[in-house]
Amino acid sequence: MCQLLGMNCNVPTDIVFSFTGFAMRGGRTDTHHDGWGIAFFEGAGVRHFVDHQAAVESPVAELIKRYPIKSKNVIAHIRKATQGHVALENCHPFVRELWGRYWVFAHNGDLKEFAPTLNGPYRPVGSTDSEKAFCFLLQELRNRFGDTPPALSLLRAALKELVAAVAVHGTFNLMLSDGSALFVHCSTKLHYVVRQHPFVTASLSDEDVSVDFSQVTTPEDRVAIIVTEPLTTNEKWTAFAPGEFNVFVDGMSIQER
Amino acid sequence: MCQLLGMNCNVPTDIVFSFTGFAMRGGRTDTHHDGWGIAFFEGAGVRHFVDHQAAVESPVAELIKRYPIKSKNVIAHIRKATQGHVALENCHPFVRELWGRYWVFAHNGDLKEFAPTLNGPYRPVGSTDSEKAFCFLLQELRNRFGDTPPALSLLRAALKELVAAVAVHGTFNLMLSDGSALFVHCSTKLHYVVRQHPFVTASLSDEDVSVDFSQVTTPEDRVAIIVTEPLTTNEKWTAFAPGEFNVFVDGMSIQER
C-alpha cells in the first residue's frame, strides 16, 4: 500500500510543512520506499517531480522541502509497490491532458481483475493498475462530455459514478485534480483538516517540527490538507467514511446537495 | 527566440556538463530569462522540470547541475518569450502521451498565422504557438497510424512531412523524442557533436569548466549533443542545414536512405 497527501487552498500556499512530515514516511517513520512523487499546479501549468528513490534519500525531495513552491492544488504520493515494479514510469502522481487542462492523479490501494477496455487516446506507460484506472477515468469523461468540459456539478456526479465502478475491483483511495478542484475518494483510509482563521501552531507527528500558522497567513486564507494518516498531533483531523467521495474547492469541502 | 539542447546516447549518461554551460545562457551569457525546462527519459518514465524563473537563478536548475540523472534522451529549453506570456504552462519542453509512450517536445522559433484544426485529443494548455504545433503533430500521427505505433522508418517519414508542413509558417527548430529516438528539425540554427572513443577533454564556452570524457566513459559509449549554439570551444560541431530533418538513435544520426 502507499500513502497519499493532497492540498487544496483558496490562495497559493506552500506545502513545505506538511511534505516534511509526509516524506519521513518514505523510508524513515514508515516503509514506503519504492519511489515517490508530487505535482503542483501553478496557474494552468504543473510542476511534476517523481523519483524512484525513497523520499527520505531523494535529492529531489530535499529540494521540495527547501523551495517553497506556492500552489492551490498539490498531490503527493509515496509508494510501496504492490503491482508494477519499482521504476520511474510507475511512480505516482500521473499527469495527462484533457480539455486543455492538465489532470493529476494518485492512488493508494490495489485493484484486482481490473481490465477496462481502453480504446480512447489514453494508454498506460507503466504497469500499474493505478495508471490504468486513471486512463479509464479520463477516457470515460471524454466519452461523456466530448470536447467541452462540463460544469463542476456534472463533473463531480460523473466522477463519483465512474470511481464507484472502479472501486468494486478493490481498494481505491484516490486524489485527482484538474487545477481547480481536488476530487477525493476513500475506500479504506483518508483524513482531512481545514486550516483557517484563527490559525494555531501545528506540530508534526513524524518529525520534531512545529509551525505557528498565524504568523504566515492572512485571516482570509483557507487550506485543506487530505492525507492517509494525520500529519500533526494537535489538530482535529476528520476521517473519511469508507466509500466517501468528496470535492475540495478553495480550501473547502463541497458538500453534496 | 529561445535556445534548445538535446542529448541522445547509447547508454544512460548524465547531462551535467552540457547543461551547466547551457543554463548560463538563461540570464547570464545570454538573455533567455523567461523560464526554462528540461525532460529526461528514464526507462519509459520521464522526469520533467520546468520553471518560470531564469535558469541562472532557479533552485531547480541548481539541482539539475548537481544531481547526475542518467538518461538516453534529454531535451532542454531556455525561453525568451515571443508568443505567450511568461508562465509555467508556457515553459518548454511539453509532455504528452501517445501509444503508451511519453513524448517530449521543445521548439525554438516563431510560427505566424498557424491555426491548425485541433479536433483530436490533444489541446494546448498554455498560449504558445509551440504547444499548438506539438498537439498538431501528435494528432496527425494518431490519425495516420491509429492505435499502433509504426516502425521507426515510417514514423520518421511521417514526421518529416508533418514538420515541413508546419515549418512553412515560420521558424521551426524543434526537438521531439518518444524515449527511443530524438527527432530534430532545423529551420535556422542548430549544431551537433557526437562524442565517442577516443574521448577528449572538452571546455565550455559559457563557463570556465572542462571535463576529460575519457575518464568518465567506456570505449563503447556514444553521445550526441544537439544545441542551438555550440557549447564547447575545442570540439568540432557540425551545423545543420536549414530545412534539415534528422533522427538520432543510440548517439548516432540515422542518415536517410
State ipTM: 0.93
Q: A49 — contact with chain B (CB < 8 Å)?
A: yes
| SS3 state of residue A186 | coil
Q: Of A49-53, A239-243, B171-175, B249-253, where does mean pLDDT reach its minimum?
A: A49-53
Q: Of A103-107, A151-155, A197-201, B238-242, where does mean pLDDT reach its minimum?
A: A197-201
Task: Report the pLDDT value the prediction gives residue B44, as an integer from 0 to 100.
Answer: 96
- The enclosing domain of A12 has a CATH number of 3.60.20.10
Q: How far is A86 from chain B (nearest CA, A)?
A: 11
CA distances from A182 to A21, A148, A215 (A): 21, 19, 26
Domain assignment of residue B213, yes or no: yes
Phi, psi for B114 (deg, rounded to 5): -105, 105
CA distances from A139 to A97, A109, A168 (A): 11, 21, 19
Task: List chain B residues with CB under 8 Å of A100.
Answer: 123-125
Average pLDDT for A144-150: 96
* C-alpha cell recorded at residue A32: 514506503
Domain assignment of residue B168, yes or no: no
Q: Indicate whether A9 pLDDT > 50.
A: yes
Total domains present in chain A: 1
Q: To which residue does cell 542518415 refer?
A: B255
Burial class of residue B113, CB neighbours in 10 A (0-12, 13-18, 19+): exposed
In this prediction, residue A35 has a pLDDT band, given cuts at 50, 70 and 90, of confident
Average pLDDT for A232-254: 95
* C-alpha cell recorded at residue A253: 469541502
Domain that holds residue B30: 3-107+173-254
Average pLDDT for A117-134: 96
* Encoded amino acid at A139, one letter: Q
Domain assignment of residue B10, yes or no: yes
Task: Report the pLDDT value the prediction gives residue A194, as an integer from 0 to 100.
Answer: 96
Domain assignment of residue B18, yes or no: yes
Domain assignment of residue B91, yes or no: yes
* Encoded amino acid at A233, one letter: T
Q: Is A91 a catalytic residue?
A: no
Task: Report the pLDDT value the prediction gives residue B67, as an integer from 0 to 100.
Answer: 85
DSSP tally for chain A: helices H, then strands E: 4, 15
Give the separation between CA B78 and CA B85, rounded to whole angstroms: 14
Q: A60 — contact with chain B (CB < 8 Å)?
A: yes
Task: List chain B residues with CB under 8 Å of A46.
Answer: 88-89
Average pLDDT for A102-116: 95
In this prediction, residue A111 has a pLDDT band, given cuts at 50, 70 and 90, of very high
List the single residue in B48, B63, B91 with the smallest CB-CB distance to A48.
B48
Give the separation between CA A22 and CA A228, rounded to whole angstroms: 10
Task: Report the pLDDT value the prediction gives residue A180, as an integer from 0 to 100.
Answer: 96
Radius of gyration of chain B (CA): 17
**What tens-digit pLDDT sequence spans chain B (257 residues)?**
689 999 999 999 999 999 988 988 876 777 667 889 999 999 999 999 999 888 778 888 888 888 889 999 999 999 876 666 788 999 999 999 999 999 999 999 999 999 999 999 999 999 999 999 999 999 999 999 999 999 999 999 999 999 999 999 999 999 999 999 999 999 999 999 999 999 989 999 888 889 999 888 899 999 999 999 999 998 999 999 999 999 999 999 987 43
Domain assignment of residue B220, yes or no: yes
Long-range CB pairs of A144-148 (<8 Å, 24+ gap) are A147/A99, A147/B119, A148/A99
* C-alpha cell recorded at residue A237: 483531523
Instruction: Judge: B125–A89 Cβ closer than 8 Å, yes or no.
Output: no
Residue environment code for A61-85, b if the CB has 16+ CB neighbours within 10 A, otherwise e: bebbeebebebbbbbbbbbbebebe
Q: Indicate whether A116 pLDDT > 80.
A: yes
In this prediction, residue A1 has a pLDDT band, given cuts at 50, 70 and 90, of low
Q: B179 — contact with chain A (CB < 8 Å)?
A: no
Domain assignment of residue B119, yes or no: no
- Residue B176 β-bridge partners: B105, B183
| SS3 state of residue A76 | strand
Instruction: Judge: B125–A101 Cβ closer than 8 Å, yes or no.
Output: yes
Task: Report the pLDDT value the prediction gives residue B1, as an integer from 0 to 100.
Answer: 66
List the single residue in A48, A89, A100 with the smallest CB-CB distance to B125.
A100
Instruction: Judge: A88–B47 Cβ closer than 8 Å, yes or no.
Output: yes
- The rounded mean pLDDT for chain A is 92
Angle at alpha carbon of residue A47, lines to A42 and A50, rounded to 5°: 150
